[in-house]
Amino acid sequence: MMLARVADSLYWIGRYVERAEHMCRLADVLLNATLDRTESSGQVARMVISAAMDGELEGELTPYDAALAMTMDSEDGDSVTAALARARENARQVRDQLTTETWERLNLIFLRVTGPKASREFTDAPSQFLHDIIADLHLFKGAADATMSHGEGWGFLQLGVFIERAQLTGRLLQAGFGRSLGRPVTEHAAMTALLRMSCALEPYLRKHTADIQPRLIRQFLMFDEDFPRSLRFATARIEEHLSGVGRNVDLGGAAGPERLAGRLKARLLYAEAETLTGEDSDLLVATVLEECARLHAGIYDTFVAYSLEMRLPA
């Protein structure tokens, strides 16, 4: 049992924290990969900008400016600073539901990225700055994992994390390989950059050795069973946590979002990964993104903004 408003805030903390971490990695890879002016650096820049900024600003920004905007823009809800500020604002509203250890971690990151020294630190050593935020976010997740009860509140936090993660990986796959956006990545350096953006390079190498191919990368990011950022892994966790938090809801026979989550999980679990064509992969990624959007709405309607008439005590 927990307040609907609290569940909503925990869900959003999960989403914003995941988003902030992802944007840090994108900005960091962008800055590193574009140090030289080669074809691959152009591919990386295009990929990052289309994954992070919906492609709107393509061509207008230098990589440094793009990384700066992705990190420090306080207006854009997708920037690192804005996402962390929102995560922390949500945490403040449910301060009583978080353990002190968890809260302190998030508060510390927030104080750092919004502090007076932040933009100076970014200018001096952007990679170090981004790296530290990612490390702090891992501490936050670790503190949450180690100190919070893994009950309903935890379930909503994780739902936020994994729905956001599935969408971010999906968008990255579209930016890297999607035909609709034109120009898929081909350069070796660009492909390793893509793996770095989802923190997948080392796990990928361990599985496929240094055989870097678009088909294998795609397979890995979509269907790997154990890699925590693959679509299959994320959708399996969504299904798991949703059936956990949905256990006590009586919907009077109507279908809840669990059905969507179960179907989505099965799609990735039973897809014919080895023989899937590029076109089919594009379609599947698009489906995952659509279904995540429906899940997002379904969770809100079922747990937070339900109509009172359906739930009055007998």
Partner 1 sequence: MRYALAEPPPMGEASAAAAAPYDEMIDPAGDVRPHYAALARRVASLSDEDLAERQRLLERFFLLQGITFTVYGAESSTERIIPTDLLPRIIPAAEWATIEAGLVQRLRALNMFLADIYSDQKILMDGVVPRELVLGAPSYRREMQNLYVPHSAYANVCGSDLIRKPDGGFAVLEDNLRVPSGVSYMLANREAAKRTFPGSFRMASVRRIEQYPDLLLSTLRSMAADWRPNPQVVVLTPGVYNSAYFEHAYLARLMGVPLVEGRDLVTHDNMVYMRTTTGLRRVDVIYRRVDDDFIDPLTFRRDSSLGVAGLFNAYRGGNVVICNAPGTGVADDKAVYAYVPEIISYYLGEDAILPNIETYLCREPAQLSHVLANLDKLVVKAVGASGGYGMLVGPHASKAERESFAEAVRADPENYIAQPTIQLSTAPCLIDGAIDPRHVDLRPFILSGDKIRVTPGALTRVALRKGSLVVNSSQGGGSKDTWVLGEAEGQEGPQ
- Which residues are at the interface with partner 1 (CB under 8 A)? 1-7, 89, 92-97, 100, 103-104, 107-108, 111, 152, 156, 245, 248-250, 303-304, 306, 308, 311-313
Closest CA relative to residue 289, chosen from 141, 137, 175: 175
As given in the structure block, the two tokens for residue 243 are 């059936």
Nearer to partner 1, 188 or 311 (CB): 311
Least distance CB 94 / partner 1 (angstroms): 8
Helix axes 231-245, 278-299, angle to 10 degrees: 20
Nearer to partner 1, 73 or 187 (CB): 73
> Is 227:198 a contact under the CB 8 Å cutoff?
no
Nearer to partner 1, 2 or 118 (CB): 2
Nearer to partner 1, 127 or 243 (CB): 243
Least distance CB 299 / partner 1 (angstroms): 10
Encoded amino acid at 45, one letter: A
Least distance CB 1 / partner 1 (angstroms): 5
Q: Is 149 left (phi over 0), alpha (psi -120 to 50) or beta?
A: beta
Least distance CB 5 / partner 1 (angstroms): 6
What DSSP assignment string belongs to 30-41? HHHHTSS-SHHH
Least distance CB 254 / partner 1 (angstroms): 14
Helix axes 231-245, 152-177, angle to 10 degrees: 160
Least distance CB 4 / partner 1 (angstroms): 4
Nearer to partner 1, 89 or 240 (CB): 89
DSSP 303: I
Least distance CB 69 / partner 1 (angstroms): 19
Nearer to partner 1, 8 or 28 (CB): 8
> Is 135:142 a contact under the CB 8 Å cutoff?
no
Residue 210 to residue 35: CA distance in whole angstroms: 23
As given in the structure block, the two tokens for residue 281 are 């992969």
Nearer to partner 1, 41 or 81 (CB): 81
Residue 287 to residue 290: CA distance in whole angstroms: 5
Least distance CB 118 / partner 1 (angstroms): 14
Residue 252 to residue 267: CA distance in whole angstroms: 27
Give the number of other Cβ atoms within 10 Å of residue 295's Cβ: 24
Nearer to partner 1, 283 or 310 (CB): 310
> Is 114:85 a contact under the CB 8 Å cutoff?
yes
